[in-house]
Copies of this chain bind each other. A is one copy, B any other.
Amino acid sequence: MRSMTRQQRWQQFMDWPLTAAALIFLIAYSWEVIGDLDGPRAVVAESIIWATWAVFVLDYIVNLALATRRWHWFTRHIFDLLVVVLPMLRPLRMLRLVTILAVLQRSTGGAFRGRVVVYAAGASLLLVYVAALAALDAERDHGSIQTLGQGLWWAFVTITTVGYGDVYPVTPTGQLVAVGVMVAGIALIGVVTATLASWIVEKVSVQQEVEEAITRAHVETLTEEIRKLRELVSSRL
């Protein structure tokens, strides 16, 4: 373990516990929202959710304590603070699960563009599920989104920026979730387009690379020419 700071060691140590907490949160939250729990079962689900929350709070506090440049770290992790503190943003903790994709990739390898596509697709699907849950939770009692199926349908229609308008959130919480999904949709269009653009630019620039290879060939011819000259001068003198 080469010269890691204490904070880096902590982050490495917390990698799996945080992912596990996010997964447990995902299951407990899904159970609570889809099952529309009531009474003792709701207490169990809420307890599990609070327990996973404790893991995230602990991680945030320890990170802040270990950071060598505390204020710098704080200003760069406002988003983490909001996710930990605001109950409304708690579904975003599940996005931690995107790190599982990193592990899957590590074992299979893969080029940069391929990895970007896998991350974008994985994060989009996870976000669609998380947003469907969060919207269902917020909107159920207002008649707009009443089943998980409706939530998923709404999330897909929103993230692709189609927006039929047959289903849409009416509560402030639901609308905040929607804004997040819309922004993610813009980013998704961006990632898809950018990856395709990079690929097409590369294919088209093969001709350009051929010309650069010619330049390199010229330089090598030149080097060869000089080597011969040197041998000539050495032998004649």
Q: Name A residues whose Cβ lies closer than 8 Å to a Cβ of B.
A: 112-113, 116, 149, 153, 156-158, 160-166, 168, 172, 175, 178-179, 182-183, 185-204, 208-209, 211-212, 214-216, 218-223, 225-230, 232-234, 236-237
Contacts and interface: CB of A to CB of B under 8 A. Distances in A.
A189 B186 contact: yes
A179 B179 CA distance: 20
B232 A232 contact: no
A211 B175 CA distance: 49
B197 A201 contact: yes
Given A162-B158, A164-B168, A189-B193, A223 B221 contact: yes
A113 B199 CA distance: 11
Contact of A162 (B161, B211, B215, B221): B161
Contact of A200 (B116, B161, B221, B225): B116
Nearest to A179: B156
Contacts of A188: 186
A202 B9 CA distance: 31
B218 A219 contact: yes
Nearest to A172: B149
A145 to B, nearest CB: 13
Contacts of A208: 209
Identical subunits present: 4
A183 to B, nearest CB: 7
A226 B222 contact: yes
A58 to B, nearest CB: 31
A191 B190 CA distance: 9
Contacts of A214: 216
8 contacts: A113-B200, A160-B185, A161-B163, A186-B192, A194-B196, A194-B199, A197-B200, A222-B223
Contacts of A198: 197, 200-201, 204
Contacts of A227: 225
Contacts of A182: 156-157, 160, 162
